[in-house]
Chains A and B, each alone.
Chain A
Amino acid sequence: MPLVAPNNKRRLEVIIVGTGLAGGAAAATFGELGYKVKVFTFHDSPRRAHSIAAQGGINAAKNYQNDGDSVFRLFYDTIKGGDYRSREANVHRLAEVSVNIIDQAVAQGVPFAREYGGLLSNRSFGGVQVSRTFYARGQTGQQLLLGAYQSLSRQISLGNVELFNRHEMIDLVMEDGKARGIIARNLLTGETERHGAHAVVLGTGGYGNVFYLSTNAMNSNGSAAWRAVKQGAYMANPCFTQIHPTCIPVSGEYQSKLTLMSESLRNDGRVWVPRKMEDAAAIREGRKTGLDIPEADRDYYLERRYPAFGNLVPRDVASRAAKTACDEGLGVSPTGLAVYLDFDAAINRYGKSKAHSQNEHNASEARIRELGVGVIEEKYGNLFEMYEKITGEDPYVMPMKIYPAVHYTMGGLWVDYNLQTNIPGLFAIGEANFSDHGANRLGASALMQGLADGYFVLPYTIGTYLSQEIRNPMVDPDGPAFKEAEAQSQARIDRLMSINGNKSPETFHRELGKIMWEYCGMARNAEGLQKGRRMIRELREEFWRDVYVPGRIKEYNPELEKALRVADFLELGELMMLDALDRNESCGGHFREEYQTEDGEALRRDDEYAYVSAWEWDDVDPILHKEELIFENVELKTRSYK
């Protein structure tokens, strides 16, 4: 692969949008390499990017546990977990660099969990049979992001990186068919700014908030990627959405977001619903609680249906099974949309083991419970606390109530092996691209992919493009392309502000979310998708007719920020419906009701759908480009966790 010499790097400018694990790591690394970097975040600080909320851990094929792990096994697990809809070459590279990430993070001072001997500790995650997940209590994303943030801060202090906080990208600027810069809005003053560079990198995360209710942060959005799509970038597999099985259920109409309970809880928690409909009804009506249901009347349905993986099946499988149980009328919350996650068995098991290790051989049941609760507290204390704060129920006594919620988007901007989109000079990294997770991401792999792209992949592969740019002078942000893009952005904002209708941006967002969840959520069918698409169209028209954005343009105006994002979601949502409609098969997180096996498992159709859908946006009729997926190292099989 071509490289760029150090003396030339100084003359090349790179814009990075987003400061999460991918963007932050890339900005720091580009700075270290000597490029001139401008990094943008809409947050007040790079440290607030939503990567910070990742709880459970990060995978790496270190095989420290001597349990049969290897680069190949991580590669294989990721391809299989993604239901054979990802690109082999990208995934293998990801598995290769996974080990370097852990080394890098340790060197930065990330306080990973350790064993008594001082070495790094691991735990298990869903969809795998080894322990390869590194973690820092339930705050792994926070610690890894702070590591990247600190490295980025160092580059800022050295003058290699210029930080533009509270700046949101509102358009991509193209010149001669290449990405040449961005239009950004200063969120404090409302002024638009023009920024030029030799390459633009989007590390702007996923678009899960198109569903309104999700585990994403309130401000996470798809706009930067969508602005690129409007300039001709392809959106790949937009319908591949991850619904995470263990979230705190919805409690009311005012609900603004959903809170995840880490997948790591499924190491020790057992998922169940009552066997009898009358028990479930009694629980919903408050006449009984989970504690009143005897062991024999509980259905540990994951253990029953998937004995090989039990409670640790991948996320898509666990989510669908929860939906099936609730659809059958066995749900355990007033809304009927919740199942139990029960730690009683684990508390008992750990309590006995702890008593044994302390030579308490005749410990009473209460004593065993006390010791067991202590062990669980050490492992998951912060999650249990968070659960109690939100629900007001003590999960050490009552089993947790959980339900699936939108969590991650596997789809994203189409990129080649070098992580370049189909627009020369425009790159996408982390959750913003589509490349590694196929139709379903495995737990603890998002942190791995974000950091792999940012630290180890893009800093290397971008040389292919930038080595061709060394003769090009600095990009002039006062040129006609920039001025025109800025004028268009301003016109769009003016139009939004001048509608002066009756409904807030939030109202439209909530309505869009309901349509998406109903027709493009955990289970989809052709009829619903067509209906959903029509409804989004109507909603979009209504939005541009009746939205009301308070405040003024040239000031700090969070409602205007929201309106701009919702406008983009209204187009992206439609493309997701269209993509789901095109894919006449079930795979990973994409479950089409028409395509299932007799026992309700996803029915993949490799002969016709082993391709990546790369959509070129068109307001009337988006165009589908197909990238065929070729599997040379992994045999295509029906995924089984039984």
Chain B
Amino acid sequence: MKLKLKIWREGGKYPKGQFVSYDIAGVNDHMSFLEMLDVLNERLISEKEDPIAFEHDCREGICGTCSLVINGYPHGPMQQTTACQLHMRNFRDGETITIEPWRSRAFPIVKDLVVNRDAFDRIIQAGGYISVDTGQAQDGNAIPIEKDQASHAFDAATCIGCGACVAACPNASAMLFVGAKVSHLAQMPQGKIEAATRAQRMVAQHDAEGFGRCSNITACEAECPKGISVEHIARLNRQYIASTLGSEKVVE
């Protein structure tokens, strides 16, 4: 099939950023979306043009590197699918496809479709862990966890840190990302000890990074490639409120 691509280019020849159109032919059903971009880039390189910068790595939907807004949807129109797992059989011959980067003040653009997501690392550094040094652990089976609860914790822990929730949110809020980590750890007995300070610290860092507030639009859940539910934001809110009202440990 033949397609018209409208791709956001920023940096190099396009210092202010703008959409640039490309026609591409010979696209087939079995190609992944990123392979289609590979083909375009090979052509640009052979014409000694600057190839389109986009990030990708595992191409299996798990590393969270790819970050394209396709036709207005983070990771494209398919539900629970990262851009790298999206295949061209989901598009029609002759279609025009718009491709943009994540857009958020907290994710500055590096080049074209590549953004800087260091803010997510800093949010995890603020408290998204259990404080245990190597070698201190007791036997794994000494901490029984109810099967369904472990499974619910996993549902939150499956977050790949891609940032689609931020790209989807009109407020550019990262509350689904924060909520997923807080909820994962708070649902496990090992993680309960630090639950209060964790929620406070991570939310404080989230705000400091310039992400917006959550106003329960829930676009994040709809666009999350791992289908993470906003119930984890609700759990975060409960943790956060309880910790500010009841706990003596309030982060300054």
Contacts and interface: CB of A to CB of B under 8 A. Distances in A.
Interface stretch (A147-155, A412-420, A596-604): A147-155
A120 B141 CA distance: 6
Contact of B121 (A46, A109, A139, A559): A46
18 contacts: A32-B134, A48-B65, A107-B130, A119-B144, A142-B160, A150-B130, A188-B110, A217-B57, A218-B58, A218-B59, A252-B31, A254-B31, A255-B35, A259-B60, A386-B61, A392-B30, A548-B48, A550-B44
Interface of B: 11-12, 28-32, 34-35, 38-39, 42, 44-46, 48-51, 53, 55-65, 78, 80-81, 85-87, 89, 110-111, 114, 116-118, 120-121, 124-126, 128-141, 143-147, 150-151, 153-154, 157-158, 160-161, 184-185, 188, 190-191
A99 to B, nearest CB: 8
A111 B134 contact: no
Given A107-B130, A112-B140, A153-B125, 6 more contacts: A114-B144, A117-B144, A120-B141, A149-B124, A154-B125, A256-B32
Given A151-B129, A153-B121, A459-B134, A118 B144 contact: yes
A43 B58 CA distance: 12
B57 A107 contact: no
B34 A107 contact: no
A100 B137 contact: yes
A379 to B, nearest CB: 13
A67 interface: no
A2 interface: no
A156 interface: yes
B157 A143 contact: yes
A615 interface: no
Nearest to A121: B147
Contacts of A44: 55, 65, 116-118
Interface residues of A, number: 81
Interface string A16-32: 00000000010011001
A111 B31 contact: no
B45 A548 contact: yes
Contact of B147 (A28, A114, A459): A114
B136 A107 contact: yes
Interface of A: 25, 28-29, 32, 43-48, 50, 52-53, 62, 64, 100, 102-109, 111-120, 136-137, 139, 142-143, 146, 149-151, 153-154, 156-157, 163, 165, 188, 217-219, 251-252, 254-257, 259-260, 385-386, 389-392, 455-456, 459, 502, 504, 506-507, 548, 550-551, 555-556, 558-559
Given A44-B65, A107-B130, A109-B190, A50 B58 contact: yes
B85 A389 contact: yes
B130 A153 contact: no
B184 A109 contact: yes
A218 B190 contact: no
A493 to B, nearest CB: 18
Contacts of B120: 45
Nearest to A148: B134
A390 B63 CA distance: 17
Contacts of A118: 144-147
A506 B42 contact: yes
Nearest to B89: A392
Given A392-B29, A556-B111, A386 B85 contact: yes
B135 A100 contact: yes
A92 B121 CA distance: 36
B28 to A, nearest CB: 7
A229 to B, nearest CB: 24
Given A48-B57, A257-B59, A550 B145 contact: no
Contacts of B138: 103, 107
A551 B50 contact: yes
Given A165-B121, A459-B134, A556-B114, A154 B42 contact: no
